[in-house]
Amino acid sequence: MIESINAGFSTKAVHSGEIRYNEYGSITTPIVQSSTFIFKNTEEIKLLAAGVSDRYEYSRYGHPTQLAAERKLAALEGTEDAVLFSSGMSAITTTLFALLKTGDHIIITDDAYKRTLDFCKICLSRFDIDCTVVKMCDYEAIEEAIKPNTKIFFSESPTNPYLNIMDLEKLMAIFNKTNIMVISDSTFATPFNQKPLDYGVHLVMHSATKYLAGHNDILGGVVLGKKELINPIREYLKITGGVIDPHSAYLLIRGLKTFELRMQRHNSSGQIIAEYLETHPKVKKVYYPGLKSHPHYDVAKAQMSGYGGVVTFELEDNVEHVLDFMGKLKILNIGPSLGGVESLIPHPATISYYKISKEERLKLGITDGLIRLAVGVENVEDIINDIKTALN
Ligand SMILES: Cc1ncc(COP(=O)(O)O)c(C=O)c1O
Protein backbone atom coordinates (compact mmCIF):
# COMPACT_ATOMS: atom_id res chain seq x y z
CA MET A 1 0.00 0.00 0.00
CA ILE A 2 1.08 3.56 -0.75
CA GLU A 3 0.97 4.44 2.99
CA SER A 4 4.37 2.79 3.42
CA ILE A 5 5.92 5.06 0.75
CA ASN A 6 6.95 8.64 1.45
CA ALA A 7 4.69 9.97 -1.31
CA GLY A 8 3.50 13.49 -2.18
CA PHE A 9 0.08 14.85 -1.19
CA SER A 10 -1.66 14.21 -4.52
CA THR A 11 -0.13 10.73 -4.85
CA LYS A 12 -1.58 9.93 -1.43
CA ALA A 13 -4.92 11.50 -2.39
CA VAL A 14 -5.13 9.26 -5.46
CA HIS A 15 -3.76 5.97 -4.07
CA SER A 16 -3.83 5.87 -0.25
CA GLY A 17 -6.31 3.63 1.44
CA GLU A 18 -7.12 1.62 -1.65
CA ILE A 19 -6.22 -2.00 -2.14
CA ARG A 20 -3.93 -2.09 -5.20
CA TYR A 21 -5.27 -5.37 -6.56
CA ASN A 22 -8.73 -6.02 -5.21
CA GLU A 23 -10.77 -9.15 -5.82
CA TYR A 24 -12.09 -7.97 -9.19
CA GLY A 25 -8.97 -6.16 -10.44
CA SER A 26 -10.99 -2.92 -10.72
CA ILE A 27 -8.83 0.20 -10.47
CA THR A 28 -11.52 1.91 -8.41
CA THR A 29 -12.53 0.79 -4.93
CA PRO A 30 -15.85 -1.07 -5.28
CA ILE A 31 -19.03 0.32 -3.73
CA VAL A 32 -19.79 -2.61 -1.45
CA GLN A 33 -23.54 -2.04 -1.26
CA SER A 34 -24.42 -4.59 1.37
CA SER A 35 -25.90 -4.28 4.83
CA THR A 36 -24.60 -7.69 5.95
CA PHE A 37 -21.55 -9.86 5.32
CA ILE A 38 -22.11 -13.60 5.25
CA PHE A 39 -19.94 -16.34 6.72
CA LYS A 40 -18.43 -18.90 4.33
CA ASN A 41 -18.67 -21.64 6.94
CA THR A 42 -19.07 -22.21 10.66
CA GLU A 43 -15.29 -22.16 11.13
CA GLU A 44 -15.37 -18.42 10.27
CA ILE A 45 -17.93 -17.83 13.03
CA LYS A 46 -15.65 -19.54 15.56
CA LEU A 47 -12.65 -17.43 14.46
CA LEU A 48 -14.66 -14.22 14.79
CA ALA A 49 -15.96 -15.21 18.24
CA ALA A 50 -12.41 -16.04 19.35
CA GLY A 51 -11.24 -12.60 18.18
CA VAL A 52 -8.82 -14.24 15.73
CA SER A 53 -10.33 -12.90 12.52
CA ASP A 54 -10.93 -9.28 11.63
CA ARG A 55 -13.73 -9.30 9.06
CA TYR A 56 -16.84 -7.37 8.12
CA GLU A 57 -20.02 -8.40 9.84
CA TYR A 58 -22.70 -5.73 9.48
CA SER A 59 -22.37 -2.33 7.75
CA ARG A 60 -23.20 -0.26 10.85
CA TYR A 61 -19.96 -1.68 12.31
CA GLY A 62 -17.96 -0.70 9.22
CA HIS A 63 -17.86 -1.62 5.52
CA PRO A 64 -15.05 -1.88 2.93
CA THR A 65 -15.79 1.37 1.05
CA GLN A 66 -15.88 3.30 4.35
CA LEU A 67 -12.57 1.76 5.45
CA ALA A 68 -10.80 2.69 2.19
CA ALA A 69 -12.02 6.31 2.54
CA GLU A 70 -10.94 6.42 6.21
CA ARG A 71 -7.42 5.17 5.37
CA LYS A 72 -7.09 7.79 2.61
CA LEU A 73 -8.21 10.60 4.94
CA ALA A 74 -5.83 9.46 7.72
CA ALA A 75 -2.94 9.46 5.21
CA LEU A 76 -3.80 13.00 4.08
CA GLU A 77 -4.08 14.29 7.65
CA GLY A 78 -0.81 12.48 8.50
CA THR A 79 -2.28 10.53 11.41
CA GLU A 80 -3.01 6.97 12.52
CA ASP A 81 -6.75 6.64 12.22
CA ALA A 82 -9.96 8.22 10.96
CA VAL A 83 -13.62 7.42 11.52
CA LEU A 84 -16.29 8.46 9.04
CA PHE A 85 -19.87 9.53 9.73
CA SER A 86 -23.01 10.29 7.75
CA SER A 87 -22.50 14.09 8.16
CA GLY A 88 -20.27 16.61 9.88
CA MET A 89 -22.87 17.07 12.63
CA SER A 90 -23.02 13.31 13.16
CA ALA A 91 -19.21 13.35 13.62
CA ILE A 92 -19.45 16.17 16.19
CA THR A 93 -22.43 14.85 18.17
CA THR A 94 -21.22 11.23 18.29
CA THR A 95 -17.71 12.32 19.34
CA LEU A 96 -18.95 14.58 22.12
CA PHE A 97 -21.43 11.98 23.38
CA ALA A 98 -18.68 9.34 23.30
CA LEU A 99 -16.25 11.44 25.31
CA LEU A 100 -18.46 13.31 27.80
CA LYS A 101 -20.60 12.17 30.71
CA THR A 102 -22.99 13.79 33.19
CA GLY A 103 -21.16 16.28 35.42
CA ASP A 104 -18.47 17.12 32.82
CA HIS A 105 -17.77 20.56 31.41
CA ILE A 106 -16.94 21.62 27.84
CA ILE A 107 -15.55 24.93 26.58
CA ILE A 108 -16.43 26.07 23.05
CA THR A 109 -15.56 29.26 21.19
CA ASP A 110 -18.37 31.67 20.27
CA ASP A 111 -17.49 31.93 16.59
CA ALA A 112 -18.33 28.26 15.89
CA TYR A 113 -20.78 26.63 13.47
CA LYS A 114 -24.25 27.50 14.76
CA ARG A 115 -25.47 23.90 15.00
CA THR A 116 -22.38 22.85 16.99
CA LEU A 117 -23.11 25.66 19.46
CA ASP A 118 -26.78 24.61 19.56
CA PHE A 119 -25.76 21.03 20.36
CA CYS A 120 -23.44 22.11 23.20
CA LYS A 121 -25.84 24.66 24.68
CA ILE A 122 -29.20 22.90 24.15
CA CYS A 123 -28.58 19.12 23.91
CA LEU A 124 -25.60 18.53 26.23
CA SER A 125 -27.21 20.59 29.01
CA ARG A 126 -30.10 18.08 29.06
CA PHE A 127 -27.57 15.50 30.29
CA ASP A 128 -26.14 17.94 32.89
CA ILE A 129 -23.04 18.53 30.84
CA ASP A 130 -22.09 22.13 31.46
CA CYS A 131 -20.93 24.34 28.56
CA THR A 132 -19.01 27.63 28.63
CA VAL A 133 -18.91 29.71 25.44
CA VAL A 134 -15.75 31.84 25.27
CA LYS A 135 -14.70 34.53 22.84
CA MET A 136 -12.70 33.15 19.91
CA CYS A 137 -8.99 34.05 20.17
CA ASP A 138 -9.35 35.53 23.69
CA TYR A 139 -6.66 33.29 25.18
CA GLU A 140 -7.01 34.74 28.70
CA ALA A 141 -10.76 34.07 28.70
CA ILE A 142 -10.12 30.54 27.40
CA GLU A 143 -7.70 29.81 30.26
CA GLU A 144 -10.04 31.40 32.83
CA ALA A 145 -12.94 29.21 31.62
CA ILE A 146 -11.14 25.99 32.66
CA LYS A 147 -12.79 24.23 35.63
CA PRO A 148 -11.75 21.09 37.54
CA ASN A 149 -14.39 19.10 35.57
CA THR A 150 -13.47 20.48 32.11
CA LYS A 151 -12.97 17.54 29.74
CA ILE A 152 -13.04 19.08 26.26
CA PHE A 153 -12.09 22.32 24.53
CA PHE A 154 -13.74 22.59 21.09
CA SER A 155 -13.08 25.27 18.50
CA GLU A 156 -12.88 25.93 14.78
CA SER A 157 -10.24 27.59 12.68
CA PRO A 158 -10.81 29.36 10.33
CA THR A 159 -14.27 30.26 11.60
CA ASN A 160 -17.51 30.92 9.81
CA PRO A 161 -18.19 33.59 8.56
CA TYR A 162 -15.37 35.93 9.74
CA LEU A 163 -12.52 33.48 9.09
CA ASN A 164 -10.88 34.12 12.46
CA ILE A 165 -7.74 32.04 13.00
CA MET A 166 -6.90 30.34 16.28
CA ASP A 167 -3.21 30.59 17.15
CA LEU A 168 -2.64 26.87 17.76
CA GLU A 169 0.74 27.36 19.47
CA LYS A 170 -0.78 29.79 21.98
CA LEU A 171 -3.79 27.54 22.46
CA MET A 172 -1.75 24.41 23.13
CA ALA A 173 0.53 26.31 25.55
CA ILE A 174 -2.63 26.60 27.69
CA PHE A 175 -3.93 23.05 27.28
CA ASN A 176 -0.63 21.15 27.36
CA LYS A 177 -0.57 21.88 31.11
CA THR A 178 -3.92 20.06 31.53
CA ASN A 179 -5.58 16.71 30.78
CA ILE A 180 -8.27 18.44 28.71
CA MET A 181 -8.84 17.07 25.22
CA VAL A 182 -8.58 19.71 22.48
CA ILE A 183 -10.73 19.14 19.38
CA SER A 184 -10.44 21.34 16.32
CA ASP A 185 -13.04 21.60 13.55
CA SER A 186 -10.76 22.21 10.59
CA THR A 187 -13.46 22.08 7.88
CA PHE A 188 -12.58 25.52 6.46
CA ALA A 189 -8.83 24.73 6.36
CA THR A 190 -8.72 21.05 5.27
CA PRO A 191 -5.54 18.96 5.71
CA PHE A 192 -4.17 20.65 2.58
CA ASN A 193 -3.97 24.07 4.26
CA GLN A 194 -3.51 23.30 7.96
CA LYS A 195 -2.47 20.39 10.22
CA PRO A 196 -3.73 21.06 13.78
CA LEU A 197 -2.49 17.64 15.01
CA ASP A 198 1.11 18.80 14.37
CA TYR A 199 0.56 21.46 17.06
CA GLY A 200 -0.56 18.89 19.63
CA VAL A 201 -4.32 19.20 19.09
CA HIS A 202 -5.72 15.79 20.10
CA LEU A 203 -8.51 15.30 17.54
CA VAL A 204 -9.30 17.07 14.31
CA MET A 205 -12.66 16.88 12.54
CA HIS A 206 -14.04 17.98 9.18
CA SER A 207 -17.41 18.21 7.55
CA ALA A 208 -16.44 16.01 4.58
CA THR A 209 -19.51 17.47 2.84
CA LYS A 210 -17.32 20.48 2.01
CA TYR A 211 -13.83 20.54 0.43
CA LEU A 212 -12.99 16.87 1.05
CA ALA A 213 -15.78 15.45 -1.11
CA GLY A 214 -15.79 18.72 -3.02
CA HIS A 215 -18.72 18.31 -5.44
CA ASN A 216 -21.77 19.49 -3.45
CA ASP A 217 -23.22 15.99 -3.82
CA ILE A 218 -22.84 14.15 -0.49
CA LEU A 219 -22.97 14.62 3.27
CA GLY A 220 -20.16 13.22 5.40
CA GLY A 221 -18.04 13.90 8.46
CA VAL A 222 -14.71 12.61 9.76
CA VAL A 223 -12.78 12.61 13.05
CA LEU A 224 -9.03 11.92 12.96
CA GLY A 225 -6.21 11.29 15.42
CA LYS A 226 -4.32 8.58 17.28
CA LYS A 227 -5.90 5.10 17.19
CA GLU A 228 -6.36 4.99 20.96
CA LEU A 229 -8.46 8.19 20.80
CA ILE A 230 -10.47 7.15 17.73
CA ASN A 231 -11.32 3.65 19.07
CA PRO A 232 -13.90 4.71 21.71
CA ILE A 233 -15.56 7.05 19.19
CA ARG A 234 -15.80 4.24 16.63
CA GLU A 235 -17.32 1.96 19.28
CA TYR A 236 -19.89 4.64 20.15
CA LEU A 237 -20.74 5.10 16.45
CA LYS A 238 -21.61 1.40 16.31
CA ILE A 239 -24.37 2.20 18.83
CA THR A 240 -25.56 5.60 17.58
CA GLY A 241 -25.45 4.41 13.97
CA GLY A 242 -24.58 7.57 12.01
CA VAL A 243 -22.34 5.67 9.56
CA ILE A 244 -21.57 6.90 6.05
CA ASP A 245 -23.33 4.82 3.37
CA PRO A 246 -21.21 2.95 0.76
CA HIS A 247 -22.21 5.18 -2.15
CA SER A 248 -21.32 8.40 -0.31
CA ALA A 249 -18.03 6.83 0.86
CA TYR A 250 -17.25 6.04 -2.79
CA LEU A 251 -18.07 9.61 -3.92
CA LEU A 252 -15.82 10.90 -1.13
CA ILE A 253 -12.96 8.67 -2.36
CA ARG A 254 -13.58 9.88 -5.91
CA GLY A 255 -13.68 13.52 -4.83
CA LEU A 256 -10.44 13.16 -2.86
CA LYS A 257 -8.51 12.05 -5.95
CA THR A 258 -8.54 15.65 -7.22
CA PHE A 259 -8.31 17.21 -3.76
CA GLU A 260 -4.92 18.93 -4.19
CA LEU A 261 -5.87 20.30 -7.62
CA ARG A 262 -9.17 21.66 -6.33
CA MET A 263 -7.57 23.17 -3.21
CA GLN A 264 -4.90 24.92 -5.30
CA ARG A 265 -7.71 26.52 -7.34
CA HIS A 266 -9.83 27.41 -4.27
CA ASN A 267 -6.77 29.01 -2.64
CA SER A 268 -5.67 31.04 -5.66
CA SER A 269 -9.18 32.15 -6.69
CA GLY A 270 -10.08 33.01 -3.06
CA GLN A 271 -7.04 35.28 -2.80
CA ILE A 272 -7.63 36.98 -6.20
CA ILE A 273 -11.34 37.59 -5.49
CA ALA A 274 -10.66 38.88 -1.95
CA GLU A 275 -8.12 41.35 -3.37
CA TYR A 276 -10.57 42.40 -6.10
CA LEU A 277 -13.43 42.97 -3.64
CA GLU A 278 -11.18 45.04 -1.39
CA THR A 279 -10.77 47.58 -4.22
CA HIS A 280 -14.49 47.79 -5.09
CA PRO A 281 -16.13 51.07 -3.97
CA LYS A 282 -19.43 49.33 -3.10
CA VAL A 283 -17.73 46.83 -0.76
CA LYS A 284 -17.42 48.15 2.80
CA LYS A 285 -15.14 45.43 4.17
CA VAL A 286 -13.58 42.10 3.15
CA TYR A 287 -12.62 39.27 5.53
CA TYR A 288 -10.03 36.83 4.16
CA PRO A 289 -7.00 35.53 6.12
CA GLY A 290 -4.76 36.03 3.08
CA LEU A 291 -5.36 39.82 3.16
CA LYS A 292 -3.02 42.02 5.22
CA SER A 293 -6.14 43.80 6.53
CA HIS A 294 -7.35 40.60 8.25
CA PRO A 295 -6.72 40.77 12.04
CA HIS A 296 -5.13 37.28 12.04
CA TYR A 297 -3.09 37.59 8.84
CA ASP A 298 0.25 36.91 10.62
CA VAL A 299 -1.02 33.83 12.48
CA ALA A 300 -2.63 32.49 9.30
CA LYS A 301 0.60 33.00 7.35
CA ALA A 302 2.62 31.15 9.98
CA GLN A 303 0.33 28.16 10.43
CA MET A 304 -1.49 27.73 7.10
CA SER A 305 -0.26 27.04 3.59
CA GLY A 306 -3.33 28.57 1.91
CA TYR A 307 -6.59 30.21 2.93
CA GLY A 308 -9.28 28.41 0.94
CA GLY A 309 -12.23 29.59 -1.10
CA VAL A 310 -14.42 31.32 1.46
CA VAL A 311 -14.39 35.12 1.21
CA THR A 312 -16.71 37.13 3.42
CA PHE A 313 -17.60 40.71 2.58
CA GLU A 314 -19.97 43.47 3.58
CA LEU A 315 -22.14 45.60 1.35
CA GLU A 316 -24.37 48.48 2.44
CA ASP A 317 -26.58 47.35 5.37
CA ASN A 318 -29.73 46.99 3.32
CA VAL A 319 -31.36 43.57 2.79
CA GLU A 320 -33.19 44.66 -0.38
CA HIS A 321 -29.99 45.91 -2.04
CA VAL A 322 -28.09 42.75 -1.06
CA LEU A 323 -30.85 40.48 -2.41
CA ASP A 324 -31.00 42.61 -5.56
CA PHE A 325 -27.24 42.06 -6.07
CA MET A 326 -27.56 38.31 -5.48
CA GLY A 327 -30.55 38.04 -7.81
CA LYS A 328 -28.48 39.49 -10.68
CA LEU A 329 -25.73 36.84 -10.47
CA LYS A 330 -25.60 34.50 -13.48
CA ILE A 331 -22.82 32.04 -12.52
CA LEU A 332 -22.77 32.03 -8.73
CA ASN A 333 -25.62 30.05 -7.18
CA ILE A 334 -27.49 31.30 -4.14
CA GLY A 335 -27.37 28.65 -1.42
CA PRO A 336 -25.62 27.48 1.74
CA SER A 337 -22.48 25.29 2.03
CA LEU A 338 -18.94 25.70 0.66
CA GLY A 339 -15.96 23.79 -0.66
CA GLY A 340 -17.62 22.40 -3.79
CA VAL A 341 -16.74 22.88 -7.45
CA GLU A 342 -19.74 25.21 -7.92
CA SER A 343 -19.42 28.68 -6.36
CA LEU A 344 -22.12 29.42 -3.78
CA ILE A 345 -23.18 32.68 -2.26
CA PRO A 346 -25.36 32.55 0.83
CA HIS A 347 -26.67 35.63 2.63
CA PRO A 348 -26.33 34.61 6.30
CA ALA A 349 -28.99 37.06 7.57
CA THR A 350 -31.73 35.59 5.36
CA ILE A 351 -30.48 32.01 4.83
CA SER A 352 -28.79 30.66 7.99
CA TYR A 353 -30.00 33.07 10.70
CA TYR A 354 -33.55 33.92 9.58
CA LYS A 355 -35.15 32.13 12.53
CA ILE A 356 -33.59 34.35 15.21
CA SER A 357 -34.38 38.02 15.95
CA LYS A 358 -32.40 40.76 14.26
CA GLU A 359 -31.11 41.84 17.68
CA GLU A 360 -29.70 38.36 18.43
CA ARG A 361 -28.30 38.12 14.92
CA LEU A 362 -26.47 41.44 15.24
CA LYS A 363 -24.97 40.29 18.56
CA LEU A 364 -23.43 37.40 16.60
CA GLY A 365 -22.05 39.91 14.08
CA ILE A 366 -24.42 38.85 11.29
CA THR A 367 -25.32 42.18 9.70
CA ASP A 368 -27.82 42.69 6.85
CA GLY A 369 -25.01 43.53 4.43
CA LEU A 370 -22.85 40.47 5.21
CA ILE A 371 -22.23 38.00 2.35
CA ARG A 372 -20.22 34.76 2.45
CA LEU A 373 -18.88 33.79 -0.93
CA ALA A 374 -17.74 30.17 -1.32
CA VAL A 375 -15.54 30.27 -4.40
CA GLY A 376 -15.71 27.15 -6.59
CA VAL A 377 -13.32 26.05 -9.31
CA GLU A 378 -14.82 28.01 -12.21
CA ASN A 379 -12.45 30.38 -14.06
CA VAL A 380 -11.72 33.21 -11.66
CA GLU A 381 -12.22 35.95 -14.27
CA ASP A 382 -15.76 34.67 -14.90
CA ILE A 383 -16.57 34.78 -11.18
CA ILE A 384 -15.19 38.33 -10.95
CA ASN A 385 -17.16 39.44 -14.02
CA ASP A 386 -20.32 37.95 -12.57
CA ILE A 387 -19.82 39.85 -9.28
CA LYS A 388 -18.75 43.05 -11.09
CA THR A 389 -21.84 43.09 -13.34
CA ALA A 390 -24.23 42.36 -10.46
CA LEU A 391 -22.65 45.00 -8.20
CA ASN A 392 -22.64 47.68 -10.86
C1 LIG B 1 -17.40 24.39 10.24
C2 LIG B 1 -18.49 23.40 10.10
N3 LIG B 1 -18.51 22.32 10.89
C4 LIG B 1 -19.49 21.39 10.81
C5 LIG B 1 -20.51 21.51 9.89
C6 LIG B 1 -21.58 20.46 9.82
O7 LIG B 1 -21.33 19.64 8.73
P8 LIG B 1 -22.50 18.85 7.93
O9 LIG B 1 -23.33 19.88 7.23
O10 LIG B 1 -21.75 17.96 7.01
O11 LIG B 1 -23.30 18.12 8.95
C12 LIG B 1 -20.54 22.62 9.04
C13 LIG B 1 -21.62 22.78 8.06
O14 LIG B 1 -21.74 23.77 7.39
C15 LIG B 1 -19.50 23.58 9.14
O16 LIG B 1 -19.48 24.67 8.36
Q: Tens digit of pLDDT for each residue in 275-294?
A: 999 999 999 999 999 999 99
Decide which of 203, 223, 256 is a domain's last residue. Answer: 256
Query: 275 and 235 share a domain?
Result: no
Domain at 202, CATH number: 3.40.640.10
Please count the residues of the chain: 392
Query: 232 and 381 share a domain?
Result: no
Query: 35 and 78 share a domain?
Result: yes
Residues within a 6 A CB radius of ligand 1: 87-89, 113, 156, 160, 185, 187, 207, 209, 219, 221
Decide which of 256, 287, 307 is a domain's last residue. Answer: 256
- Residue 18 placed within a domain: yes
What is the domain extent for residue 354? Answer: 259-391
Q: Kindly name the residue from 81, 110, 185, 386 that is annotated as catalytic.
A: 185
Query: 193 and 293 share a domain?
Result: no
Query: 267 and 213 share a domain?
Result: no
Query: 25 and 173 share a domain?
Result: yes
Are the beta carbons of 190 and 43 closer than 8 angstroms?
Answer: no
- Residue 283 placed within a domain: yes
- Residue 2 placed within a domain: no
Query: 226 and 319 share a domain?
Result: no
pLDDT at site 301: 98
Domain at 373, CATH number: 3.90.1150.10
Query: 338 and 225 share a domain?
Result: no
User: How far does the centroid of ligand 1 lie from the alpha carbon of residue 148, in Å?
Assistant: 30
Looking at ligand 1, which atom is closest to the CA of residue 210?
10
Q: Name the closest-CA residue to atom 10, ligand 1.
A: 88
- Residue 1 placed within a domain: no
User: How far does the centroid of ligand 1 lie from the alpha carbon of residue 1, in Å?
Assistant: 31
Decide which of 207, 240, 256 is a domain's last residue. Answer: 256
Query: Assign residue 8 a region: left if phi > 0, alpha if psi is -120 to 50, beta otherwise?
Result: beta
- Residue 109 placed within a domain: yes
pLDDT at site 1: 64
Looking at ligand 1, which atom is closest to the CA of residue 159?
1
Tell me the C-alpha distance between 223 and 84, whole Å. 7
Query: Per the structure, how many domains does the chain have?
Result: 2
User: How far does the centroid of ligand 1 lie from the alpha carbon of residue 214, in Å?
Assistant: 13
Query: 265 and 138 share a domain?
Result: no
Q: What are phi and psi of 57, to 5 degrees?
A: -130, -50
Q: Kindly name the residue from 210, 234, 265, 361 that is annotated as catalytic.
A: 210
The yes-or-no answer on residue 355 being catalytic is no
pLDDT at site 299: 98
Task: Tell whether omega for the bond before 158 is within 30 degrees of 0, i.e. cis.
Answer: yes
Query: 211 and 307 share a domain?
Result: no
pLDDT at site 347: 87
Query: 159 and 225 share a domain?
Result: yes
Sheet holding 310-314, edge to edge: 285-287, 310-314, 370-374
Residues 6+ apart with CB under 8 A from 46: none
Tell me the C-alpha distance between 294 and 302, whole Å. 14
Residue 169 to residues 76, 174, 192, 196, 206: CA-CA distances in angstroms?
A: 22, 9, 19, 10, 20
Q: What are phi and psi of 225, to 5 degrees?
A: 165, -165
Query: 77 and 115 share a domain?
Result: yes
Q: Kindly name the residue from 12, 71, 113, 368 that is annotated as catalytic.
A: 113
Residues of the chain where predicted confidence (pLDDT) is lower than 50: none
pLDDT at site 108: 98
- Residue 124 placed within a domain: yes
